[in-house]
Amino acid sequence: MSKTICFLAVVLLCGAVPAQEPETLRAITYNVQFLPGSAGNQNERPDPEYRARRIAEEVAAFDIVALQETFDWDHRQTILDTLRTQWNGELNTVISPQPDGFFTNGGCLIATRLPIVESDAVVYKAFSSPADYGFRADGFAAKGVIFARIARSADRMGDTIDVFVTHMEARADDLRPAQYKEMAAFIKAKSDPTRPMVLMGDLNTRGGVEFRNDPESQYSLLMAALQDARPEGVIDVWPALMGDALGGTTDQNSIETGKRIDYIIVGNPAEGELVLKPVSVQVNLYQDEKVVALSDHNAVEARFEWSDSSKP
């Protein structure tokens, strides 16, 4: 009996062909701290050109890359050039705009090998001003939200994900709730409720368990704003999969210390539609022998499975 016939016999006895592994999507968000021009002297980690190259080599393992603080043009270009090489020329991007009146752009970047079929951006109207905060003011940068509608693949252009990336107010805590509303309005205007939505970035919002359990916290205000934008439901991926573990993103020695302020949040369409099911998440310190760590933040990485939500 041939090997093929033996295999078919086994299949018939078992009753079905073995199921294929579900198709997955990997996403990463990372605040990489490349301050612009002479302000680069304030970067916590040295050797920015080395860091830019190494960061790009690491994040090239992901399907969708969300970076913040790519303010410096030269180092941003190194990241893009390295990604283009790593991805054999297949690089699609959305970069924060720089309207008149700002010293630098918003620092956010979406990079992917997948096709981008639509993009847009908005700059926050609420931000800390140089008059109040001097050289540390967020108002020097055109911070806001960038958006990309990304196709599942070149062969599946009809299956798309709405990806949003932001870096929120770092200085004036009292301005952040206004930015939640601005971001939510942009997400509501741009996202399609029949498509999955992923929000990534440095939200400068404390996300430890004590804040999640406080209905008056900024975390609760953030999630309420997102729920208004996506009534079908939104999921903060870290606590959904990791429970009460801290998942700190501001200390490069341990994820059990520091603050959790970097996020991956997913919103899915109603039952019966194609959804992104979060199946794993981790915080990566990206420690490095030469520069201690590749940034002053840790990265958040998540893996999703494409799934029909009507199936168990």
**Given this model, what pLDDT does residue 285 score?**
98
Three-state DSSP string of the chain = CCHHHHHHHHHHHHCCCCCCCCCEEEEEEEEEEECCHHHHHHCCCCCHHHHHHHHHHHHCCCCEEEEEEECCHHHHHHHHHHHHHHCCCCCEEEECCCCCCCCEECCCEEEECCCEEEEEEEECCCCCCHHHHHHHCHHHEECEEEEEEEEEECCEEEEEEEEEEEECCCCCHHHHHHHHHHHHHHHHHHCCCCCCEEEEEECCCCCCHHHHCCCCCHHHHHHHHHHHHCCCCEEEHHHHHHCCCCCCCCCCCCCCCCCCCEEEEEECCCCCCEEEEEEEEEEECCEECCCEECCCCCEEEEEEEEEECCCC
What's the pLDDT at 22?
62
Q: Does position 95 have pLDDT exceeding 50, yes or no?
A: yes
Q: Does the pLDDT value for residue 19 go beyond 60?
A: no
**Among the listed residues 251, 223, 198, 264, the one whose alpha carbon sits nearest the alpha carbon of residue 29:** 264
Q: Compute φ and ψ for 239, nearest 5 degrees.
A: -65, -25
Domains of the chain: 17-308 (3.60.10.10)
The tens digit of pLDDT for each residue in 228-249 reads 999 999 999 999 999 999 999 9
Q: Is the pLDDT of residue 89 over 50?
A: yes
Q: Which range among 14-28, 57-71, 131-145, 173-187 shows the weakest confidence by mean pLDDT?
A: 14-28
pLDDT category of residue 311 using cuts at 50, 70 and 90: low
pLDDT in tens, 120-167: 999 999 999 999 998 889 999 999 999 999 999 999 999 999 999 999
- Return the closest-CA partner of residue 249 out of 235, 263, 229: 263
pLDDT on residue 5: 44
pTM above 0.85, yes or no: yes
Query: Alpha-carbon distance 247 to 177, whole Å?
Result: 23
Strand order through the sheet with 64-70: 92-95, 109-112, 64-70, 24-34, 299-308, 274-284
Query: In the predicted model, what is the mean pLDDT of the chain?
Result: 92
